[in-house]
Amino acid sequence: MGVWLFVSIHCLAAERENPIESLDFWGNEAREATIKDINFIDAYDPLEPANRILYKFNRQFDENVYLPVVSTYEYLIPEFIQDRVSKVLDNVSEVANIVNNGLQFNLKGTLYSSGRLLINTTAGILGAFDVASYIGMQRHNADFGHTLAFYGVNDGAYIVLPILGPTNLRDMAGLIVDSFLLNQVNWLTIPRTTVSHPAVFALNAIDRRHQIPFRYGSLDSPFEYDMVRYLYRQSRMLKLEVNALSEQREH
C-alpha cells in the first residue's frame, strides 16, 4: 500500500491534463448515442473483473472523500486564488512538455514549452499569470504516453487505477516517467520542496480534481464502466491524431 501511495502521489502531480477531463465533452454525445452505436466490445480489457471493482471503489472514494474536500476548497478559497494555484501548477508541468516534445522531435512544441516556462516563471510570477498565452505562445501538451506512441508502442491493456482512474499500460508507464521527471523540480529553490512534498502534493491533488468536470453517474447509463472505457480510449486516440496532424502542418 505504501508503494502505491508513493506512485499515486507522483502520478497525481504529473498528469495535469488527465484524459478523463475529455469525458465532459464526449459525454454530451454519449448521451445521444445508443448502445448499438458504440462498439464497447472493441477494447482489450483482460483485467475487466478487477477493473470493475476498482471503478466502484473510485466512485465511492470520489463521492465520499475527494469531492467533499474539493468542494470545501472551492468554498473557502476565492476563485481568483484558485485560478492562480492552477496556473502555477500548470506552469511546472511545462517541464514534462519540454522533454516529451523534444523526444518526439517537435521543435515548435519544444521551443514554445521552453519559452512558456521562462516567460511565465518570470513575467508571470512563477506561472500565476499565463503571460505566454497572452502574447500568442500557446501550450503544447505532450506526455511520455504520447512519446511511447510516437515510437510505435501499442496502448496495451486497459487498466483502472485506484483513485487515478482509467489508463492503459502505455499511459501508465508514461505517468510514472513524467511524475519522476517533475519530482526533480525544486519549488522556489527550497530544499526538498518537490511535488512529493505533502503540502504541494495535497494542493496539486485538490486542484487537479477541481479542474476535472467529470462526475461519476453523469453519463446516466447502466453501462457507465463500458462507456468510460470507450470514451477514454477515443479521447487518447483523438489527441494522438491531433498531435500527428499538427506536426504534419509544421513540416
Q: Could you read off the pLDDT of 13-34 as tens digits, one per residue?
A: 555 555 444 444 444 444 444 4
Assess whether pLDDT exceeds 50 at residue 70.
Answer: yes
> For residues 89 and 207, is the Cβ–Cβ distance under 8 A?
yes
Provide the number of structural domains found in the chain.
Answer: 1
In a domain, residue 84? The reply is yes
Distance CA 60, CA 207 (A): 19
Q: Which residue has the cell 511535488?
A: 195
Domain for residue 163, yes or no?
yes
How many of the other CB atoms lie within 10 Å of CB of 24?
A: 14
Separation CA 176–CA 67 (nearest Å): 24
Residue 11 lies in a domain: no
Among candidate residues 170, 42, 122, 16, the one with its CA nearest the CA of residue 130: 122
The percent of residues in the chain predicted with pLDDT above 90, rounded, is 61
Query: Is 8 part of any domain?
Result: no
pLDDT (tens digit per residue) in 80-106: 999 999 999 999 999 999 999 999 999
Q: For position 9, what pLDDT does the model report?
A: 44
- Lowest mean pLDDT of 6-10, 35-39, 85-89, 100-104, name the range: 6-10
How far is residue 80's CA from residue 36's CA, in Å, rounded to a whole number?
44
Residue 26 lies in a domain: no
Assigned domain for 112 exists: yes
Residue at 13 is within a domain? no
Contacts of 77 by beta carbon, 8 Å cutoff, 6+ apart: 85
Domain encompassing residue 227: 54-250
Cell numbers 445521444: residue: 32
231 Cβ contact partners less than 8 Å away, ≥ 6 residues apart: 22, 23, 26, 27, 30
- CA-based nearest residue to 167, from 151, 155, 180: 155
Burial (CB count within 10 angstroms: exposed 0-12, middle 13-18, buried 19+), residue 147:
buried
Residue 203 included in any domain: yes
Separation of CA 206 from chain center: 13
- Residue pLDDT, tens place only, 176-202: 999 888 887 765 555 555 666 778 888
